[in-house]
Structures are given as structure tokens and as C-alpha cells.
Amino acid sequence: MSRQKILVFDSGLGGLTVYRAVRALRPDADYLYLGDDALFPYGRLAPEVLIARVNAVIGAAMAQFPAGCIVIACNTASTLVLPELRARFSIPIVGTVPAVKPAAAMTASGVVSVLATPGTVSRDYTQDLIREFAGGVRVTLVGSKALAGLAERALRGEAVDDAAIGAEIAPCFVEDGDRRTDVVVLACTHYPLLLDRLNALAPWPVKWVDPAPAIARRVVQVLGEIRSEGEGSARATFTAGTPQEPNLVRALAADGLSEAGVRLPPAG
Ligand code: DGL
């Protein structure tokens, strides 16, 4: 019985938050982490561009790493491309979509914010989640143009100003009479990379919902009971080429990820 192969995909480094949670539960699987950083950030791309691009990149990766499960660790892509991918690959495809339902169950004040990329905020998928699962809750959608990029810079060891992060999260903090926001959904997988900074910069304490543990539980469920002995391999590949910055190389190594040498389509 060969090891399970899991492909974890994001536009850049944000999917690492999901990869970590999945690998913690299934260390026996072989992993390929795929970041389409040549087109980062996805949040600004038109839907048709994004659908074509994700299909091309995942197709190329699957030809070289025939995974038994694909994790789309990106809300901006998942809210758009899951139907196409599921029609194309007959394996479980686990997406990441805004955790509106858990947030609605968690809020005591009834005031919730969803912090995401401009793409995710504009999707019908997101609107439908709110209509279906957040009846009676005041939901504020906050589309951040810069926060995913700031998270990448922080992971690469660059200095990121408190003011820059503070400005991106400020619209999440809503006061409505004597009620105020008590839950913020992190609906972009990059944002949990900044969790300590988000806690420190919040105007008042809130619960931040990181979907990674729930996604990891879902992956465990779809993979089933059979496990392999020992630890599997973990490799990463990026469409912009092999990362050279020492801080990033160190961060990937700390996540157990080494270079995969997978050939992927360039941008455009
Ligand atoms: N990590 C991605 C998400 O979950 C997107 C960040 C971006 O590329 O704009 O939405």
C-alpha cells in the first residue's frame, strides 16, 4: 500500500497555515505544497483569469504528483473553482471557504466581521453563506487589498509596520449601539500567519476564526482510516521559481518542506 499523496495549493505562502494543520493530523502522507506566487496576490484577479490559471497549475502539478486528495488552501480560489476541479479530478477536493457558520454560532454580541481578499468579499458564494448561515447576525464584509502581502512579508522576515496592519483590520471593528464585533473570520489563509500581531493590534479583544483545524479534520475524514508507517515526505514548489531568500528558505525548512523540482506553467 503506497502512501497517501496530498497536494496543498495556495496563491503563495498562506496555505502553509492549512498545510501545518493537515500534516499534524496525517504526518504519514506525502505532501506537495504548491504556491502560485507568480500571480500573487489572487485577490485582485478577475474570476475568468483565476479559474483558467488554477486549472492550469493544478493540472501540471497533478501530472507530476498524482495526489489522492487536493486541498485548495485559498478562499479566493475555493469560492470560484471548486466545481471545475471536482468535475475534472475524481478524487476528494477539500476547499477553504469563509467560516461564516461557526462564527454565527460563536458570537455573543451578534456582530461579526469577515476579513478576506477583495475577490472573496465580492463572490456570490460568500453572500450565499451569509444568507444561509448568519440569519439574525450583523455581518460586515471587509475586503483587504494589502493584508495577504503584509503576511508574506512578515513570513519572509521583513519588517511590517503596526500601522499598516492596523489600517487593514480597523474596518472589522464595528460598534452598533451597545453591541460590538466579537468574532472576526480570517477568510484568507494568509491572515493566521499574523495572528499574534492581529491580537496585539485589535482595538478590543475578539475571537479570530482560523479555519485550518476544521479543514484538517475534513481531510482526515475524506482520506479514511488506512495509514502508512512512519513519516511521509514534504516538498514545496512555487511558480515564480525556487525561493532564494534565506529567511523564507528557513521558514519552509521549519515546516519540514524541501524543494520539489516540479515544472509548472509560468505566469501569463
Ligand atoms: N490565501 C488566499 C486566500 O485564502 C489569497 C491571498 C491572495 O493571493 O490574494 O484567499
Here the CATH number for the domain that contains residue 147 is 3.40.50.1860
Position 264 scores a pLDDT of 81
Q: Is 86 left (phi over 0), alpha (psi -120 to 50) or beta?
A: alpha
What is the pLDDT of the chain when averaged over all its residues? 96
Query: What is the DSSP secondary-structure string of the chain?
Result: -PPPEEEEEESSSTTHHHHHHHHHH-TTSEEEEEE-GGG--GGGS-HHHHHHHHHHHHHHHHHHS--SEEEE--HHHHHHHHHHHHHH--S-EE-----HHHHHHH-SSSEEEEEE-HHHHH-HHHHHHHHHH-TTSEEEEEE-SSHHHHHHHHHTT----HHHHHHHHGGG--EETTEE--EEEE-STTGGGGHHHHHHH-SS--EEE--HHHHHHHHHHHH-S---SS---EEEEETT-S---HHHHHHHHHTT-EE-----PPP-
Mutate to test the pocket of ligand 1, among 117, 153, 155, 193 (most ligand atoms within 8 A of CB): 117
Distance 187 CA to ligand 1 centre (A): 9
74 assigned to active site: yes
Q: Is 180 left (phi over 0), alpha (psi -120 to 50) or beta?
A: beta
Judgement on whether residues 206 and 220 belong to the same structural domain of the protein: no
Q: Is residue 220 part of a domain?
A: yes
Judgement on whether residues 123 and 181 belong to the same structural domain of the protein: yes
Distance 30 CA to ligand 1 centre (A): 24
Q: Is residue 149 part of a domain?
A: yes
Judgement on whether residues 132 and 185 belong to the same structural domain of the protein: yes
Cell, residue 99:
467560516
Residues 94 and 67 sit within 8 Å (Cβ to Cβ): no
Position 268 scores a pLDDT of 63
Judgement on whether residues 117 and 77 belong to the same structural domain of the protein: no
Number of domains in the chain: 2
Residues 118 and 142 sit within 8 Å (Cβ to Cβ): no
Q: Which of 74, 114, 139, 198 is catalytic?
A: 74
d(C-alpha 9, C-alpha 78), whole Å: 10
- Residue of 238, 233, 237 whose CA lies nearest to 256: 233
Position 166 scores a pLDDT of 98
Judgement on whether residues 87 and 218 belong to the same structural domain of the protein: yes
Q: Is residue 266 part of a domain?
A: no
Given a cut of 80, whether residue 119 has pLDDT beyond it is: yes
Per-residue pLDDT averaged across 14-24, rounded? Answer: 98
Distance 39 CA to ligand 1 centre (A): 11
Judgement on whether residues 22 and 61 belong to the same structural domain of the protein: yes
Given a cut of 90, whether residue 129 has pLDDT beyond it is: yes
Judgement on whether residues 156 and 246 belong to the same structural domain of the protein: no
Judgement on whether residues 74 and 154 belong to the same structural domain of the protein: no
Judgement on whether residues 107 and 196 belong to the same structural domain of the protein: yes
69 assigned to active site: no
Distance 179 CA to ligand 1 centre (A): 30
Nearest protein CA to atom 2 of ligand 1, as residue: 74
Given a cut of 90, whether residue 2 has pLDDT beyond it is: no
Q: Is residue 147 part of a domain?
A: yes
Q: Is residue 133 part of a domain?
A: yes
Q: Is residue 142 part of a domain?
A: yes
189 lines ligand 1 (CB under 6 A): yes
> Counting atoms of ligand 1 from 1, which one is nearest the CA of 96?
4
117 lines ligand 1 (CB under 6 A): yes
Per-residue pLDDT averaged across 75-101, rounded? Answer: 97
Judgement on whether residues 81 and 17 belong to the same structural domain of the protein: yes
Judgement on whether residues 23 and 78 belong to the same structural domain of the protein: yes
Given a cut of 90, whether residue 262 has pLDDT beyond it is: no
Judgement on whether residues 106 and 193 belong to the same structural domain of the protein: yes
Structural domain span for residue 11: 5-96+213-259
Q: Is residue 264 part of a domain?
A: no
Q: Is residue 27 part of a domain?
A: yes
